[in-house]
Amino acid sequence: MDFFGRQQQVRRMSARLVLLFAVAVIGIIVAVDLAVITAFDAWGDPDTIIGLAITASLVTGLSIALASLFRTASLRGGGGKVALELGGVLVPPDTTDPQLRRLRNVVEEIAIASGVPVPEVYVLPEERGINAFAAGWSPSDAAVAVTRGSLERLNRDELQGVIAHEFSHVVNGDMRLNIRLIGLLFGILFLTVIGRTLLRVGIFSGGSSRDRDGKGGANPLPLIGFALLAAGLIGVLAGRIIQASVSRQREYLADASAVQFTRNPIGLAGALKKIAGLPEGSKIKSPREEEIGHMLFGSGRGLSSLFATHPPLADRIKVLEPDFDPTTLAVLEQNWAQQPPDGMREDVTLGLAPAPQRAPQPTGPQQTPPAPPAPPRERAESRVDPDAVVGQIATASFDRAAAILDGIPDGVLARARDVGTVVPLVLGLLMAENPQARAAQHQTLAERLSSQAADSALAAATELTALDPMHRLPLAEVAFPALRRLPVADQQPFLDAVFALIHADGRITAFEYCLSRLLLEELQESLRPKSGWRQPERTLAAAKDAALILLAVLAQAGAAAPAQAD
């Protein structure tokens, strides 16, 4: 399966489809110009034609642009804003729900393994279909949301495949494109509102007008209103077709990237099979589904043909499993009609999770001991040529990420996820081991923040002394979502305290530099998303200078003496 070839092909096609969106808007403006010129019966006067065309073009273009900007601005809150509009609920940092804990762990593992900032995690509790989406302007303000059906029906491998699919949208810059498509469609739809208003005003005004000489004439408002209404409706239909085409191609790209992330096509294919075989499928009941349908993992309405935002399920499965027989879906559908799949139970059966602990049985007749848990399931080897995925994360990266999270105490992780306790924890990561330097840092925090904040950071630093140095930066990554939820007024003082801590002892370590830069990028980007953000091309030539600096820092960090680093 040539995933890189597919990625390049889909990117080129997506660029052409986005260009078609601009052509559709131009077509709408031209149609409105013709209607306005006809309404004013100005075809015999070239000067009037030019004036009306310019005026109509400006009004139509500005109407679309302003409405689009208004809708886009309403989503400036990042991915969490979109999730909340669909009824999403933020996963609590102290949740004990095993399904929510599994979801959060999978998201954090993929984020750490792929080098993407940990996004906020939401659940759509009222949605029983299997679906998910990623939203936001950039990786720094992204959010991942999954439905209740995904938590209940998918096992861990399948859930990991779905989340990896959504992470690919984050990495490839699809989220910004998705939000812009929402804004453009809203702007075109706004023309129908204007047209309906003009049509109603024109009809109620009697359908005629008089000039200053008292001569009667046809009222142009009904015709202009009808033209705007028709152009808006046709434009929306054209936009939906283009939107669906963009989405279909992006879904193939996301599937390919998800396999590169997980190296396990069977997990993603299993999720798609459950969508195809269960009556709920991937349906979304929210009235906003039509607006965000192109952002979903699976089709929210099950539309077909030109308006389908996703490729046919059988085609997506076939790409992942070339030997897949579509007739097996009917068998799965019959089996699941009698006994729907239980993702958590499948985890135990497949060795992806330990069996739940049972309470001691009361004294009585000898009972048959429970069967031992199934041995861990071997991951299916990906069909992708390993030589073709240089630079991509492999299964070992996920295993390493999981091991890192397991090595961090649960209490520390809980404080990193809680907006009320995350600040002293992160400040504690930056406090020096030397007692004199630590005392100076404590004094700095007391002056910049408060004595209580300084004491809390010192207590956190003491607790984190035993933490493996390799776990410190991943712990900070887990803390990013909570830091992004800090009140805006508290974020700059926090950053000032971070830089004061770093400079308090007169030296900057590689860890301090990396963490401070990550914090700066995360908080500034979440507050002021870059308008032109897009994923750069991953070529070694373009990253030559950055790679040299990185290698030099690694050489110094790994050397016992400066001379050895040379």
Residue 416: band (very low, low, confident or very high) from pLDDT cuts 50, 70, 90:
very high
Q: Does 365 or 81 have the greater pLDDT score?
A: 81
pTM to 2 decimals? 0.77
**Does 368 score more than 80 pLDDT?**
no
Q: Which range is least confidently modeled, 50-64, 195-209, 371-385, 497-511?
A: 371-385
Q: Considering 166, 251, 280, 525, which one is annotated as catalytic?
A: 166
Residue 383: band (very low, low, confident or very high) from pLDDT cuts 50, 70, 90:
very low
Judged by DSSP in three states, 133 sits in: strand
**Does 163 score more than 90 pLDDT?**
yes
Residue 166 falls in the annotated catalytic set:
yes
Tokens found for residue 365? 């007749």
pLDDT of residue 357: 55
Calculate mean pLDDT across residues 126-133: 94
**Does 366 score more than 70 pLDDT?**
no
Judged by DSSP in three states, 120 sits in: strand
CA distance 451 to 429: 18
Q: 242, 16 in Cβ contact below 8 A?
A: no
* Arithmetic mean of pLDDT over the chain: 81
**Does 145 score more than 90 pLDDT?**
yes
CA distance 76 to 423: 25
Residue 196: band (very low, low, confident or very high) from pLDDT cuts 50, 70, 90:
confident
What tens digit of pLDDT does each residue of 65-86 get? 899 889 888 887 778 888 998 9
Query: 263-297 burial, b for 16+ CB within 10 Å, e for fewer?
Result: bbbbbbbbbbbbbbbbebbbbbbbeebbbbbbbbb
pLDDT of residue 103: 96
pLDDT of residue 11: 62
CA distance 478 to 121: 12
**Does 457 score more than 50 pLDDT?**
yes
Residue 202: band (very low, low, confident or very high) from pLDDT cuts 50, 70, 90:
confident
| Residue 291 to residues 173, 295, 527, Cα–Cα distance (Å) | 19, 9, 25
| Residue 339 to residues 127, 336, 554, Cα–Cα distance (Å) | 20, 5, 54
Calculate mean pLDDT across residues 505-533: 74
pLDDT of residue 156: 94
What tens digit of pLDDT does each residue of 535-546 get? 445 566 777 888
Calculate mean pLDDT across residues 164-191: 83
**Does 387 score more than 50 pLDDT?**
no
pLDDT of residue 372: 43
**Does 328 score more than 60 pLDDT?**
yes
The fraction of the chain above a pLDDT of 70, given in percent, is 83
Tokens found for residue 401? 């990420």
pLDDT of residue 8: 63
The fraction of the chain above a pLDDT of 90, given in percent, is 30
CA distance 269 to 266: 5
pLDDT of residue 204: 73
Q: In the 8-state DSSP scheme, what is residue 370?
A: P
Calculate mean pLDDT across residues 368-378: 42
Q: 113, 56 in Cβ contact below 8 A?
A: no
pLDDT of residue 369: 45
